Amino acid sequence: MSLKPISDIGEFGLIERIAGIAEPTLEAVPGIAEGIGDDCAVYALSPSKVQVATTDLLVEHVHFDLLTTPLQHLGSKAISVNISDICAMNASPRYALVSIALPSKSSVTFVETLYNGMSEAARLYKTALAGGDTSMSLNGTVISVTVTGEAVKEHLTLRKGAQPGDLVCVTGSLGGAAAGLKVLTREKGIMVEHLRHGESYERDILSNLKEYDEAIRQQLLPAARIDIIEFFHKHNIIPTSMIDISDGLAPDLLHICRRSEVGAIIEEGKLPILPQARHIADEFQEDAVNYALSGGEDYQLLFTLKSDQADLIAPHRDITVIGRITPADEGMLLQDIYGMTIDLETIEGFDHFTGKE
């Protein structure tokens, strides 16, 4: 047996190995149209309809810190990050299964507050909380959410499908979640110092840090862009490829480029960076562009579109064209405001197993 640690191959290396072992099982079920490797697995329900399914884990001390995360927000985020993956398939969510592992000393109110947050988000996305499991945990809280959705077959949008000449588009603003995390991490340090000295501390993070509210909200309470999917359906817009931005613009665009076997060029000057993220980056003497490229957790949609459909998205104020798809041999580039190009493939998102960005 090999004793190679997971940190040697990283998160994507691990997923590749798991996919290799899982692949033979796909043949047993003829309806499976997409297995591991996209935002959701896809199963053909009928010749015209597909079911999509996704699952996400939130682990205490890895994905969230209870010192800086209001429980209701955590519940809401656990649902939103999954709905975001359903949206990334151009599908509509249906129901969620929620499993939770808790230390036995957790209070009943803790669990109820968490589920109230989930219930509020689920109602917003017209998704049913339809089942799940509970277990005792010896070390911290773990939340696992699985969400299913449905799409008309012609609407289904995968990571593959982008063609040279297509527009690269992004929704909303970027960099806010990473900037918010910076502020929260600093605040946690201050909080821990107060507690160490036996002093009380006002724990309402959002009202304490009003000047950073948009960025913190983006980190603690991201919203899945179901409104964009509804806009697509209403105007018969079908992107050629799509992904949600969970790892960062650069690594997520790389997923589209690899699966579609294309390259891309992005213009730095067109990136819709959250103004507050710029202020926070200045305060930390960092670059907000890096928050957008590799910070992740913005849960916006990154998609490509045939250039003759540009008129259809133009009226939408929350969709920005940031670049275009190129042939694979041109690579994946960022053109900065001076016209210099930077290789985006060298920028990676956060890897849970290597701990590196």
Q: Which residues bind Mg ion (CB under 5 A)?
A: 39, 85, 244, 246
Name the residue nearer to Mg ion (CB basis): 159 or 182: 159
Q: How far is the CB of 87 from Mg ion (least distance, A)?
A: 9
Residues near 150 by beta carbon (within 8 Å), at least 6 away in sequence: 45, 49, 50, 51, 52, 91, 92, 94
Alpha carbon distances (Å) from 333 to 7, 69, 198, 307, 342: 28, 36, 51, 19, 6
Q: How far is the CB of 147 from Mg ion (least distance, A)?
A: 12
Q: Among all chains, which residue has been given the structure tokens 């799409």?
A: 151
Nearer to Mg ion, 75 or 349 (CB): 349
Q: Which is nearer to Mg ion, 85 or 348 (CB)?
A: 85
**Smallest separation (angstroms) from Mg ion to the CB of 138:** 30
Nearer to Mg ion, 244 or 298 (CB): 244
Least separation in angstroms between CB 310 and Mg ion: 25
The answer to whether residues 53 and 43 touch, using CB atoms and an 8 Å cutoff, is yes
> What length does the chain have?
357
- Based on CB atoms, which residue is closest to Mg ion, 148 or 246? 246
Q: What are phi and psi of 340, to 5 degrees?
A: -80, 145
In the sheet that holds 167-171, the strands lie side by side as 241-244, 301-305, 167-171, 319-327, 262-267, 332-335, 341-343
The number of beta carbons lying within 10 Å of the beta carbon of residue 111 is 16
Rounded distance between C-alpha atoms, residue 88 and residue 225, angstroms: 9
What b/e readout covers 73-88, taking b as 16+ CB neighbours within 10 angstroms? bbbbbbbbbbbbbbbb
Nearer to Mg ion, 244 or 348 (CB): 244
Q: In angstroms, rounded to a whole number, what is the distance separating the alpha carbons of residues 100 and 139? A: 13
* β partners of residue 344: none
Q: What minimum distance in Å lies between the beta carbon of 55 and Mg ion?
A: 11
User: Which residue number places its CB atom closest to Mg ion?
Assistant: 39
Instruction: Give 72 or 300: the residue with its C-beta nearer to Mg ion.
Output: 300
User: Residue 234 Cβ, how far from Mg ion at the closest point, in Å?
Assistant: 23
> From CA 280, how far away is CA 47, in angstroms rounded?
50
Minimum CB distance to Mg ion smaller for 182 or for 225: 225
Smallest distance, Å, CB 233 to Mg ion? 20
Q: Which two tokens stand for residue 151?
A: 């799409």
- In whole angstroms, the minimum distance from the beta carbon of 342 to Mg ion comes to 24
CA dist., res. 61 & res. 64, Å (int): 6
What string of DSSP letters covers 33-63?
EE-BTBSSEEEESSSSEEEEEEEEEEEBTTT
Least distance in angstroms from the C-beta of 156 to Mg ion: 15
State which residue, 72 or 260, has the beta carbon closest to Mg ion: 260
